[in-house]
Structure 1
Amino acid sequence: MRNKNRTRILAAAAAAGLLLSAVPAYAFSDITDSKQAAIVQSLQDKGLIQGVSASKFAPNAKLTNAQAVQLIVDAIGLETAKKKTDAPPWFLSVPQDAWYAGALKTALERGVVIDGTWDANGVPTRQQFAKLLYLGLLQKGNYANVSKYTSIADAKQIAAKNRVAVEYLLMTKVAALDSKKNFRPTAAITRMEAAEMIYHAERMVNKSYASSDKATVTYKVENVDPNFNKVTLTRGNLPGAGHGLKIRRIEFVSDTEAVITYVPTSPPSGGSGTTYPASAVAYVPVVYDITVKAE
């Protein structure tokens, strides 16, 4: 049923000039950056995004609200989120045969808060898109919560209601600042910028760059001396005595990024053997940005 719906949606979108036929890898003449081309190809292979013609992707074109909702719902599989409530009354004013109606209904039912001023053809800003994506991710799993402040040069331009969402996406590396440490929150998000965030969000959901279903884990980064940061992982909502948390490994995946992998632990059968506390600590050189994920 989902495949039939996806086919119908893509066909309708193509007819509206929104998403058109797929093309081979690196075939878009208007994408010259190899990393961006690889991101678009990956999303295209998964049926999440398409070009605007056989040879053009239009990376700098503005995304619409309808396209944003469709991307987020599809990329993170929002229809499988646990929460489900009735769509708000204002949804009845949306044309029910619109190509985006199904995705919008899913987003509203699964906890993504969108008010009645929503306009399908409107253009979301980067911070507005970040907020929608953040709300969608929250419905999909118990991801590691970050309590490390990011230095954002244009932070004053971020609305207070969107600040947590922006910080979250930056800390989980779903989004990134530019070379001048700006997020450009009030700029309209482009197709390429949305594709980049969606690419990393989809990987976060589908490749376990977050907590397992069995544990909710937060982590805190503290600078303890000029050379090292202390990273404290804490498991919450423990189901009982003996349940804990263990750091499995620390990988320095580049000159600037370290990945800490943990595993939730359960009490040993028979009541004997090693048990682990509900928190674990690691020390990482300050030159590394830190990502925490479940094994």
Structure 2
Amino acid sequence: MRSHTVTRMLAAAVATGLLLGVTPAYAFSDITDKGQAAIIQSLQDKGLIQGVTADKFAPNAKLTNAQAVQLIVDAIGLDAAKKKTDAPGWFVSVPQTAWYVPALKTALERGVTIDGTWNANANPTRQQFAKLLYLGLLQKGNYAKVSKYTPIADAKQIASKNRVAVEYLLLTKIATLDGKKNFRPTNAITRMEAAQMIYAAERMVNKSYASSGTATVTYKVENVDPEFNKVTLTRTNLPGNGYGLKIRRVDFVSDSEAVVIYEAIDPKPGSANIVYPATAVVYVPVVYDVTVKAQ
């Protein structure tokens, strides 16, 4: 999934203090919040982030455009497109040997639009990062569309071209508002803020839940009409005939959360030739954020 070698990544990280790369597992002394520490640990274990030193993550430091593109491409798992989009005119001025070029080319080829003259070392705002992340997610699947709008106190500061992206990330809980209902769209996004969004986005793209034994179930949410999302569950590691999947129920645990409960079906003795569906579908109103859980 990664487009360059670990050696190059580590070399670039030493030279520029990048957020991105593969590092050994360790705790950062400048992150004291348990929730943030858990997020950083998860992303670090997957080789998506690293600190600026062995002991410091610099959570409040600003992200760069180069780091943003690399992080999104790696976390979402974008790869080269079969039908490539032409590169914008400004791409010819980008040093072709730069560490971030493979990820930048992949993003552009997959249709992730980057407006204007791109500066690798400039700092994207929160709304600009939201737009890039939103476009990246669209390349991976037909996720739920924006069907309702969130009251945002500083909505007037969000550029019209970025509004749908911000609303989408809020709807899917990839992004959140602060205590005063502000998104702070014109603020430069920090390393911790980017990590939090990427953590949620990566989970949405790569969701899988294990039931008893070795059964693994993945799911995706697709918007099918203004009222309902289609939730498709797939059992991905069928060991043979007679193994399948059933949806038992949907629990509406709050006004905005729904949990789809499933059961992995294994063959009974002497019935291995019975075929059970490996996928199951349920429809959930669009107002609910969907998660999936084994019975």
* TM-score, normalised by the number of residues in structure 2: 0.75
Report deviation, 1:219: 5.7
Give yes or no for contact 1:210–1:294 (8 Å, CA) kept in 2.
no
2:288 to 265, 290, 293: 290
What's 2:257 paired with? 258
Report deviation, 1:217: 2.5
CA distance in 1, matches of 2:171, 2:219: 12
CA distance in 1, matches of 2:130, 2:248: 31
The residue correspondences of 1:28-39 to structure 2 (distance < 5 A) are 28-39=28-39
Paired AA for residue 41 in structure 2? Q
Three-state SS of the structure 2 residue aligned to 1:210 is: strand
Change beyond 3 A, Cα 1:195–1:82: farther
Three-state SS of the structure 1 residue aligned to 2:288 is: strand
What's 1:119 paired with? 119
Change beyond 3 A, Cα 1:281–1:111: closer
Three-state SS of the structure 1 residue aligned to 2:95 is: coil
Query: % of aligned pairs identical?
Result: 71
CA distance in 1, matches of 2:252, 2:88: 46
Report deviation, 1:233: 3.6
What's 1:272 paired with? none
Change beyond 3 A, Cα 1:293–1:97: same
What's 1:192 paired with? 192
The residue correspondences of 1:169-248 to structure 2 (distance < 5 A) are 169-207=169-207, 210-211=220-221, 216-218=222-224, 220=226, 232-233=228-229
Change beyond 3 A, Cα 1:250–1:5: same
CA distance in 2, matches of 1:139, 1:69: 14
For residues 62-88 of structure 1, give each alpha carbon's deviation from its aligned partner in whole angstroms, at most 9, with x where no partner exists.
001010001000000111666532323
Structure 2 residue runs of 5 or longer lacking an equivalent are 208-217, 232-245, 263-280
What's 1:14 paired with? 14
Structure 1 residue runs of 5 or longer lacking an equivalent are 221-230, 236-245, 264-277
Three-state SS of the structure 2 residue aligned to 1:250 is: strand
Paired AA for residue 257 in structure 2? A
Give yes or no for contact 2:6–2:22 (8 Å, CA) kept in 1.
no
Change beyond 3 A, Cα 1:118–1:4: closer
Give yes or no for contact 1:63–1:124 (8 Å, CA) kept in 2.
yes
For residues 177-234 of structure 1, give each alpha carbon's deviation from its aligned partner in whole angstroms, at most 9, with x where no partner exists.
11111111111100000000000000111115633xxxx42464xxxxxxxxxx5346
Report deviation, 1:144: 1.4
For residues 133-166 of structure 1, give each alpha carbon's deviation from its aligned partner in whole angstroms, at most 9, with x where no partner exists.
0000001111111301111111111111100000
Report deviation, 1:251: 3.2
What's 2:138 paired with? 138
CA distance in 2, matches of 1:8, 1:248: 48
Paired AA for residue 135 in structure 1? L
